[in-house]
Amino acid sequence: MRGKAKSRVVLICVLLLLLLSFLGGCSKQENEPEPVVPVRVAAAMEEPIERVIRAEAILFPIDQSAITPKISAPVKRFYVNRGSTVKAGQLLATLENSDLEASTVENKGTLSQAEAAYESTTAASLPEELQKAQLDVETTKQGLDAEQKLFDSREILYQQGALPRKDLDQTRVSLVEARSHYEIAKKHFAALQAVGKQQEIKSAKGQLESARGRYLGAQAQLSYSEIRSPISGVVTERPLYPGEMAAASTPLLVVMNTSEVIAKAHIPQQDAALLKVGDAAEIASAGTEEKVPARITVISPATDTNSTTIEIWAKASNPGNRLKPGTTVELSVVAQKVDKALVVPTSAILNPPEGGTSVMVVGADNHVHRQEVQLGILAGDKVQITSGLKVGQQVVTTGAYGLPDNTQVKVEEAAAGKAAGD
């Protein structure tokens, strides 16, 4: 019995000690102060914001011509060097053309002969057969006129009763025969003219046209030996020297017009949908802060099959040739602009794993509260808030990650009254 009593006393003592320990722990937790988390904040401010699309672009000249000769011949002489400024139509080089000059002179002589033959043929007298046919026409016409006069006089006598009817009928028959002879002679003469004279003239004309064609061809071949610039610009390539063979399939000179340049870039489809032809743009060369104004001139209606991006072109003036074709530049275009936008630093935006977009707003009691927001334009370290915030509300910019809702905070560096992000 004594052993059982001692065991009960020990058990009661242990339970009392555990109860005292538990009560002491609760008292200690109730007396601990609420933790305060240091944060930095910024005020939601109303200010202008722009959506700027930036892309890497390659510069191209506004115009370019790789001048390829139409004939193969040695270079006789160059009149320009690389870097020379030329105008449209200016003579740049001459190829060896002695044989072409000789051919032109020969064909010009042949043309002169053909012209003379054509003139003599058209101005020559009628051949003998045509002369005889023409004489028959004239003779039968005279006979017809005589018979007509005889018939008219006898008809008058017949009407007066001074001539018998038989004589008048005989005269009428003679008149009909004379008219028939005249018509036959006239048709024969016309047929000879159509077949004989016209064929002779046609033959002479064909020879003339053939000679003229050969002469024009020789002139064209001679002109191909003179290399002229189709555009105004600067000579950027001249790979050969005088005396070397210029091939008909190889560019002899390259001329570029660099007074203006085209920046060609590829951008995502969603960005291209925000642009239109005529939008203002800027071109910046690598390693410089200078920006050259430009304008969007082309927005491709189709996507690139390899990258599914959209190609855009921006044209800019290039005084002094500061922008070099072939170089890589940064092309920037203002796609959207809002004059009065509610803006906060991008560091204030939270993207929790469960989805959505939110910020931690500091209340008047220095406790933070998670608040869902909708984002608009993103510009560098600033972002537009389209809904969920009001002007002047303080948002946590540093220390918000993993911060529980309704946590007490201590603002270490407030940006109230300043532009967001300052």
Is there a contact between 383 and 349 (Cβ–Cβ < 8 Å)? yes
Report CA dihedral (63, 264, 270, 353) to the nearest 10 degrees: 180
* pTM (predicted TM-score): 0.60
291-303 and 280-285 beta bridge pairing: antiparallel
Return the pLDDT at 307.
85
Task: Kindly list the distances between the CA atom of residue 231 and the CA atoms of 78, 341, 368, in Å, as whole numbers in the listed order.
Answer: 17, 49, 69
What CATH number was assigned to the domain covering residues 258-338? 2.40.30.170
d(CA 414, CA 262): 47
What's the token pair of residue 179? 């008219």
Return the pLDDT at 259.
92
Pick the CATH number of 37-49+339-413 from 1.25.40.20, 3.20.20.150, 3.90.870.20, 2.40.420.20: 2.40.420.20
Is there a contact between 45 and 420 (Cβ–Cβ < 8 Å)? yes
Beta carbons within 10 angstroms of residue 47's beta carbon: 14
161 in the Ramachandran plot: left (φ > 0), alpha (ψ -120 to 50) or beta?
Answer: left
374 in the Ramachandran plot: left (φ > 0), alpha (ψ -120 to 50) or beta?
Answer: beta
Return the pLDDT at 413.
58
Inter-axis angle of helices 198-224 and 98-123, to 10 degrees?
160
Residue-level pLDDT, tens digit, the chain, 422 residues: 455 555 565 556 556 666 666 555 554 445 556 678 888 888 889 999 988 899 999 999 999 999 999 999 999 999 999 999 999 999 999 999 988 888 889 888 888 888 888 777 666 545 666 778 888 888 999 988 988 888 888 888 888 887 788 887 888 888 888 888 889 988 887 776 665 566 667 777 888 888 899 989 888 888 999 999 999 999 999 999 999 999 998 999 999 999 999 999 999 999 999 899 999 999 998 777 788 999 999 999 999 888 899 999 999 999 888 899 999 999 999 888 888 899 999 888 888 877 788 888 988 888 888 889 999 888 888 998 989 899 989 988 887 777 888 888 888 854 444 444 44
Tell me if the domain spanning 69-97+225-246 has CATH number 3.40.640.10: no
d(CA 195, CA 205): 15
Return the pLDDT at 250.
92
Indicate if the alpha-carbon torsion angle 365, 371, 374, 375 is positive or negative: positive
- Which residues have C-beta within 8 Å of that of residue 63, sequence separation ≥ 6? 231, 233, 256, 257
d(CA 27, CA 15): 18
43: nearest Cα among 326, 390, 312, 336: 390
H or E element at residue 200: helix 198-224
